[in-house]
Structure formats: structure tokens, C-alpha cells
Amino acid sequence: MAMAAMRREGRRLMVISPTVSLNSTNAVRSPLVSQELSLQGTRSISTQIVRTRMKSVKNIQKITKAMKMVAASKLRGVQVRTEQSRGLWQPFSALLGDIPSMDVKRNIVITVSSDKGLCGGINTTSVKVSKAINRMNSGPEKETKYVILGEKGKVQLMRDSKKDIEVTISEIQKNPLNYTQVSCLADDILKNIEFDALKIVFNKFQSVVQFLPTVATILSPECVDAASETGGKLEGLNSYEIEGGDSKKEILQNLTEFQFSCVMFNAVLENSCSELGARVSAMDSSSRNAGDMLDRLTLAYNRTRQASITTELSEIISGAAALTG
């Protein structure tokens, strides 16, 4: 190592030595020559770093543009299905109502979020609303638990509400969403979790840039029965005649189960629609940002290049002038 350094040192001395001798022989030209030597490094600033940066920004822009395209084309299909699925839960809320203020003992908050990120703040919104509902419904002799759909909501709620998580569900969007899948999922929740009220928190799709955090409440059959007995919003339920041999309790149980899977289906679709819409706008702004950054970098790069060319030119011209003059 030391020898190599010495050799390098020696070579440099060898290179410098002619100029030194030149310096001593030609006193008139010496200032120019020595200046040229000292500016060797600074005159041509390396543009390599800027060029690499530009290339990486350009690649990122390409990726974000592609993601935007993919999300936009997926959104078109999902949006139609979401709008169609709204007809599925509306009759249920007309019949069984949607009463979020119902005071019950055991609440289950179902937070619907996405598995993938890069979709703006929709997951944060549904997590925040879920936490607010949890706080509103907490109290002595009351229990509130979370059922979380999607990885992103899980990661956020794990930080401070680890103890309240009952079940997490993921990978539901691996295949295109269908009713069979969601009803199997609803079935799983119904069988394994005891509840008095289920509160489904999701982002309702308004437009590509607007999502409304929404809560849909589903009461257990016992609660619906109790609520219809005491009057209030569900009093109309008693005016229905029941055909066949089923009791009101059985019918209510069937209805609430079916209501839950229908509302879940709509919630999951609405949320995936909002996710895609949010992703479209997020990717749109990020590719625009990448474009701006690229413009700035190109400007800086060209300016530096131009400056070095100008310096070189002026040096050549002044050198020539010095020779002739």
C-alpha cells in the first residue's frame, strides 16, 4: 500500500515537473498555466450525480404513471359493481333500520381497510373513525372489540389497540370480489364472534377524489327484537304479518344474518372503489411531482453544462488572444 502511494506520488511529481520548469523558463505565461492547473478539478464539475438522479426520477415517474393507469382501469369495473350493490342493503335499512346510537353491551367494530398502500389517507380515515367509535362506546360493563379487514388497518391499530383486536382478515382482494366470498367471510364472523351490535366502518365512494367515512350498524336479532318491542324507530316491524311456521325470532335471525353479509359486501366494494380512486389521484400527483423534479434537475444540469462550456470557450479565446497579442 505504502509503495503504491509513493509511486502515485512520484508520478504526480513527474507530471508537475515539466510545468515547473516551464514556469521558471517563461515568466510571462506562468500565471495562466498555474491557474489552469489549480482549476483542473473545479472547472468541469461532474454532472454524473445529477444524471443518475434524473434517470431514477424518470424511472419512478414511469412506475407511478403505470400504477395510475392500472388503478384507473380497475376502478371502472369496480365502480359499476359498487353502484349496483347499493341496491342490496337499502331495503334492509328500510326494514331493520341503521341505528348507530343504540346502546348495547358488546360492540364489534369492523374496520374495512386495504391490503396495499399508496392510496392516500383512506386507511387512516377508517382507523380514526373506528377508534372514535371505540371511545364512544367504551364504558363500564361494556366491551368493544375490533375485527380488521386488510393489512394496513391492522398495522395502524396494532400500535395502541393491540388488546382489543379479535380477528384480522386479509387477502380478500386476491381475486375479484364476489358475493360468495364476502358471505363466507360474514359467516366466519357470525359463527366465531359474539356481538350485540356490529359497526362496519368503511369509506363510501362519492367520486374519484371524494370518500365519506361511513358507519353501518347491524344489531343482533335479540337487540332488534328488543328495540321493536320498546317502540321507537323499529316499531313498524311489529306491523308485518309472518307467514308459515317460523317465529319472529327465527325470521329476525335469518334477516340480520343476510343483512350483515349484504352490508359487508357493499362496504368491501365501496372501500375497494375508494382505494382505487385514491390511488389514481395519489399516483397522478406523484407523477406530476416527479415531472416537476425532473424539470428542475434538467435545468440545473443544463446550466452547469453550459457554464463549463462557456468557461472553456472564454479560456480558449483569451489564450488565443494572449498568443496573438
Q: Of 270-289, which residues contact another protein (CB under 8 A)?
A: none
Q: What is the amino acid identity at position 219?
A: L
Q: Of 36-75, which residues contact another protein (CB under 8 A)?
A: none
Of these, 250, 292, 295, 312, which contacts another protein (CB under 8 A)? 250
Question: Binders of another protein: how many residues, by CB under 8 A?
Answer: 37
Q: Which of 182, 118, 184, 116 is nearest to 150 (CA)?
A: 116
Q: Is 245 in the site for another protein (CB under 8 A)?
A: yes
Q: How far is the CB of 67 from another protein (least distance, A)?
A: 23
Of these, 30, 44, 47, 170, which contacts another protein (CB under 8 A)? 170
Decide whether 186 or 227 has the Cβ nearer to another protein: 186
Q: Is 257 in the site for another protein (CB under 8 A)?
A: yes
Decide whether 141 or 171 has the Cβ nearer to another protein: 171
Q: Is 23 in the site for another protein (CB under 8 A)?
A: no
Burial class of 305 by CB neighbour count within 10 A (0 to 12, 13 to 18, 19+): middle
Q: How far is the CB of 149 from another protein (least distance, A)?
A: 9
- If you ran DSSP here, which 8-state letter would residue 163 be given? G
What distance in Å separates the CA atoms of residue 175 and residue 181, rounded to the nearest whole number? 10
Output the nine-digit C-alpha cell for 223: 337487540
Q: Determine which helix (DSSP H) or strand (DSSP E) holds 255, and give its type and residue range.
A: helix 248-324
User: How many Cβ atoms are within 10 Å of 122's Cβ, its own excluded?
Assistant: 24
Decide whether 257 or 315 has the Cβ nearer to another protein: 257
Using the structure block, give the residue that is written with the C-alpha cell 368493544.
144
Cα separations (Å) of 39 from 4, 215, 242, 300?
26, 69, 97, 21
Of these, 47, 258, 301, 308, which contacts another protein (CB under 8 A)? 258
Decide whether 24 or 175 has the Cβ nearer to another protein: 175
Decide whether 76 or 191 has the Cβ nearer to another protein: 191
Those residues with Cβ within 8 angstroms of residue 100's Cβ, 6 or more apart along the chain or in another chain: 199, 215, 217
What distance in Å separates the CA atoms of residue 309 and residue 20, rounded to the nearest whole number? 28
Stretch that binds another protein, among 18-26, 59-67, 87-95, 178-186 (CB under 8 A): 178-186
Q: How far is the CB of 298 from another protein (least distance, A)?
A: 46
Q: Is 76 in the site for another protein (CB under 8 A)?
A: no
Q: Is 235 in the site for another protein (CB under 8 A)?
A: no
What distance in Å separates the CA atoms of residue 141 and residue 106, rounded to the nearest whole number? 9
Q: Determine which helix (DSSP H) or strand (DSSP E) holds 313, and give its type and residue range.
A: helix 248-324
Residue 50 phi/psi, 5-degree rounding, is: -65, -40
> Mask 215-234, x = binds another protein (CB under 8 A)?
--------------------
Stretch that binds another protein, among 12-20, 131-139, 234-242, 254-262 (CB under 8 A): 254-262
Name the residues that contact another protein, by CB under 8 A.
162-163, 165-172, 174-176, 178-181, 183-188, 190-192, 245-247, 249-250, 253-254, 257-258, 260-261
